[in-house]
Amino acid sequence: MKLRLSNPGLDDRILSHQQLDKLEEDEAGDRPKWDNKAQYMLSCVGFCVGLGNVWRFPYLCQSHGGGAFMIPFLILLVLEGIPLLHLEFAIGQRLRAGSMGVWSEIHPYLAGIRIASMCISLTVSLYYNTIIAWIMWYFFNSFQDPLPWSQCPMDASLTGFVSECERSSPVDYFWYRKTLNTPPTIEEDGGLQWWILLCHICAWSVLYICTIRGIETTGKAVYVTSTLPYVVLTIFLIRGLTLKGSLNGIKFLFTPDLTELAKPTTWLDAGAQVFYSFFGGLISFSSYNSVHNNCEQDAVIISIINGLTAVYAATVIYTIIGFRATERFDNCLSGNILALLNAFDMAEGSITDNHYNQVVQRLNETHPEVIQGIDLKTCDLTTFLSEGVEGTGLAFIVFTEAITKMPLSPLWSVLFFIMLFCLGLSSMFGSIEGILVSVQDLKVFPKTLPKEAITGVICALCCLVGLIFVLGSGNYWLSLFDTYGASIALLVVAFCEMISVVYIYGIDRFNNDIKFMIGHRPNFFWKASWRVISPLIVFLILVFYLVTKVSEKLLYKAWDPELEKFPTLEVKLYPHWIYVIIFILAGIPSLAIPFAAIWKCLQKKRRKNQIYELNIY
Amino acid sequence: MLDKILFLLCLASALADERCMPDTPHGFQVRLSIKTALGDEAYVWNENEMFLFRASLAFAMRNHMNGQQFEVSNIIVCNETMRVSFWFIVTSPLDTSQLIDQENVEAAIRQSRNRINSAFLLTDKTLEFVDILPTLATLYTHPTPPWLIVFGVVMGAVGAGIIIMLVSSVVQKKRKTNGKPQDKDDDEETRVKTVENGDAHDGVHNMSFSEDERFTKM
C-alpha cells in the first residue's frame, strides 16, 4: 500500500522523457554544463567537505566516546546521507531546474520551499563569508616571524605585558582583542573594525571573481579549492606524526567508549552532522549534468569521500592537539618540579617526571606546610586533551597556539589558513549558486543584464549586509546566526523536500525517472530509505532540536575582562529583542512553506470562483 | 702575635657570616639552573665557578659605582645548597664593615645582567636573582604592518583578475554581436531547407517559440 497524494497537472509542468532526450541533443551547445565529470565531482565534494568536517566533527568524535562515535556516524551516513544525496542529484538531473525551480514544478503549493531555501542560502552566505574574512586576516598575519599571537604585546609604559593578555594568553588576546575587538555584551556594537572590514571586502572580492560567470568560473576554481585541503592535511599529518605527543592525541580521539552509544544525544549529534554536511544547493549542481549521468554512483562516491575526509581531518587535527596537550602537560610538570626544587633546595634532576608523584607524596608527609605554600598545579594529560574546542575556538585559539610551538611556525600557519580558506570558499560556491539561480528564476533583474553584473550586485549587497559581522560584536551575531539561522529551517526544508519528492511527486514516477536516467530501477535499499527511514531520521532530529532549543534559555558566551572568572568566557542571557531576530531567522523560512501553500491554495480557490462566476453569466 | 691574628680573622669571618644569611636585607638570593639550560653540556658547580661568580659580580659593582675598586673579597657568599642556590652580600671596598645597600646592588646587576649571564652561558631565567625582575626585551615593531602588505598584494591580484574577466567578457560579447548578423541568415536558410525536404523529423523543434524560461539559465 503506497501512500500517494494526488497531483494533477504534474505532466504539464515537467518535461517528459522524450522531451528530455531531445533537449539533450539540441541544446548540447547552448546549455551551461560542466566541462568534465571531474569538475562536477570536485564541486560537490568541495561543497560537502567544509569547515564543519575540520572543526566540528573531531570535537563531536572526542566528546561522544571517540572511536565509538564512528558507529552512529557511519550508520547514519548510510541511512540518511547517501539517500538524501541521491535524491537531490536525481531530482536535479531529472527536472533540470535549480534548487528553487524544481518545487514549483512538482506542485505549485510547494513554492514555499523555494522561498525558504533562498532565505537559508542568503543567511548562510552572509555569515559564512565573515568566517572566511577572519581566516584571511590570520593568513595575512602569518607572514611574519615571530607570529603576532605567540607573545603578549607590551603595555603603554613598557614595564610589563598588557594585563588582558597576561591574565588570559597571547592567542586568546590576539583573537578576542586584536582580531574581533569584542565588547563585553552583544548590545554594545563596538563600531566597525577597519582591519576586518578590509578582509571582509577582500573575501567578497575573491568570491566574486570565482563566481563571476557561474559554474564556468567556479568549475575552474574547484580544481584548486577542493584538492588543496587534502594536500595540506597530508602535510600536516606527516608533520604531526613526527611531533612528540601526537600519538596521545590519536589514542584519545579513537579510544572507544561504548557507553556513549546508549545516549540519544550521540545519535542525534551524529545525524545532525551528517545532515548539515550533505544538504544544500546540490540540486543546482546536478541540474547541469547530462540526463543520463549515473547519479546513483555519484551519490555513493561523494558520500564515501565526505565520510573519509571527516575521519582523516579528525586524525590530523588530533595529532596536533595531542602535541599541544603533551607540551602543556610537560610545562605544567616542569613548573611544579622547579617549584619543589626551589622550595626544598634539592639538586637539579633529583625529581624526574616519572617519580614526581611519589616524591610529592613523600614530601607531603614530611613537610605538609611547605607543600601547601607552594601551590602546585594539577597536571593531567586527559584534561589538556579534552580542552575540547570546536568551531572558531579550535582554529583560531587551540590550533594557532599549537603552531607557535612548532619550528618554522609561519610556514605551518600559512598552510593551515590556506586550507581553511579553500574549505570555506568551496562551500560558499554552493550557497552563492543557490542565490544566483533563485534570483534569476524570480526574474528580479532584466534579462539583458549580463551575468557578471548580476553576480556583482549580489556580492555587493551581501557584502553590505554582512557588515553587521564586521562590528565589534560581530562574533556574537555570527554564533546567533549559526545556531538559529541555518539549523532548524534547514531541517524543515529537507523534510519537506523528501516528503514532496516521495509522496507528492510520486515514488513510482521517481523510480521510473531513475530507470530512464541510469538504466535500472533503484533497489530496495533506496526505496525503503527514501520512503521511511530518511524522512523519519530528519523528523526526529528536527523534533529533538525544537524541544531542546525551545526549552533552554537563550545564552551566549561573552569575553569580558572586567569579570572575576576571566579568562573563562562568561555566559550571559540574550536581551529580549534578540527573540525577534531569532524568530526572523528560524521562523520565517520554516513558516514560509505552510503559508505559501495556504496562500496558493486560496489563490486557486479565488480563481476557481471567478471562473465559476464568469460561467454563470 | 699569631694568636691575635687568628682571633681577629675568626672574628672577622664570624662577623661576615652573621651579616650574610638567608633573607638578609642587604643581599640577594641567586639560583642557577645549569642542567635545565645546558642539558648534557652542563658543567659542574664548584669552587672555581663560585670564584667566577664573585669576580663577575665585583665587575658589575665596579661598572655601576665608578671609581670604587671592588675586589672578589668584597663579595661574600653563604648558604650554598645542592640546588645551586646561595645568598650574597657586597661590602664596600673602602670599609669592609659597611655593606652596600640593596638598591645599588640591584642597579649594578641590572646594568651588567647580560655580561653576567654570558659568563655562565645562562639566561635571565636560568640564572635567577630572586626579587630582581629581568627587563623585558622590546618587541620589534614593524614600520608597516606585514599583514597590510600581504593584503595589498592579494587585493591587487584579485582586482586585476576581476578587471581582466570583465574586459574579456565585454570583448567576447562585441565579437558575438559582430558575428551574429551573418549567423542569423544561415539559420533561416537551413530552416527553409528542412521545411522543403519535409520528411526526416515529425517537425522541427522551433527554438524561437519554446519557453526557455522553464530551464533555469546558468
Which residues of chain B neighbour A208 with C-beta distances below 8 Å? 162
Domain ranges of chain B: 17-129, 160-199
Mean of all residue pLDDT scores within chain A: 86
CB B117 within 8 A of CB B127: yes
Tell me the per-residue pLDDT of B120-144, one tens digit each, with 9 for 90 and over: 888 888 888 888 877 777 667 778 8
C-alpha cell at B85: 642556590
Residues composing chain B = 218
Sign, CA torsion A386/A391/A396/A402: positive
Tell me the per-residue pLDDT of A235-262, one tens digit each, with 9 for 90 and over: 999 999 999 999 998 988 888 888 888 8
**pLDDT-based confidence at A140, cuts 50/70/90?**
very high
pLDDT of residue B20: 78
Question: With 60 as the cut, is the pLDDT of residue B2 above it?
Answer: yes
Q: Between B135 and A419, whose confidence is greater?
A: A419
Q: Between A321 and A157, whose confidence is greater?
A: A321
For the entire predicted model, the pTM comes to 0.85
pLDDT of residue B209: 52
Residue of B nearest to A20 (CA): B215
**pLDDT-based confidence at B10, cuts 50/70/90?**
low
Which residues of chain B neighbour A136 with C-beta distances below 8 Å? 154
Residue B75 β-bridge partners: B90
pLDDT of residue B207: 52
**pLDDT-based confidence at B7, cuts 50/70/90?**
low
Which of A11, A345, A440 to probe by mutation at the B interface, max B CB count within 10 Å? A345
Q: Environment class of residue A39 by beta-carbon count within 10 Å: exposed (0-12), middle (13-18) or buried (19+)?
A: buried
As a whole number of angstroms, the distance between CA B35 and CA B82 comes to 13
pLDDT of residue B210: 47
How many Cα atoms occupy the beta-carbon half-sphere of A118 within 13 Å? 19
Sign, CA torsion A239/A242/A248/A250: positive
Return the percentage of chain A with pLDDT > 70, whole number: 97
**In this structure, what is the dihedral angle of CA atoms A70, A416, A130, A455, given to the nearest 10 degrees?**
-100
Which residues of chain A neighbour B136 with C-beta distances below 8 Å? 154, 158-161
Kindly state the average pLDDT of the residues B200-217: 50
Going by C-beta distance under 8 Å and a sequence separation of 6 or more, which residues neighbour residue B124?
B113, B117, B134
C-alpha cell at A40: 562536477
Kindly state the average pLDDT of the residues B156-182: 87
Known binding residue A277? Answer is yes
Of B83, B173, B217, the CB nearest to A341: B83
Chain A contact for B82 (CB, 8 A cutoff):
yes
DSSP state of A266: H
Question: What single letter denotes the amino acid at residue B153?
Answer: V
Size of interface A-B (CB pairs under 8 A): 109
pLDDT of residue A440: 78
Return the percentage of chain A with pLDDT > 90, whole number: 23
Tell me the per-residue pLDDT of A29-64, one tens digit each, with 9 for 90 and over: 455 778 888 888 998 899 888 888 888 888 888 888
pLDDT of residue A579: 86
CB A303 within 8 A of CB A74: no
**pLDDT-based confidence at B9, cuts 50/70/90?**
low
Q: Sheet of B127-129: strands edge to edge?
A: B75-78, B85-90, B28-32, B127-129
Kindly state the average pLDDT of the residues A411-424: 95
pLDDT of residue A309: 92
Of A199, A345, A349, the CB nearest to B85: A345
CA of A347 vs chain B CAs: smallest distance (Å): 4
Mean of all residue pLDDT scores within chain B: 78
Question: With 90 as the cut, is the pLDDT of residue A233 above it?
Answer: yes
- Helices of type H across A375-444: 381-385, 392-393, 400-404, 409-441
Closest residue by Cα to residue A149 from A141, A139, A158, A157: A141
A358 C-beta neighbours (distance < 10 Å), count:
10
**pLDDT-based confidence at A130, cuts 50/70/90?**
very high
pLDDT of residue A174: 92
B104 C-beta neighbours (distance < 10 Å), count:
14
**pLDDT-based confidence at B196, cuts 50/70/90?**
very low
As a whole number of angstroms, the distance between CA A110 and CA A121 comes to 17
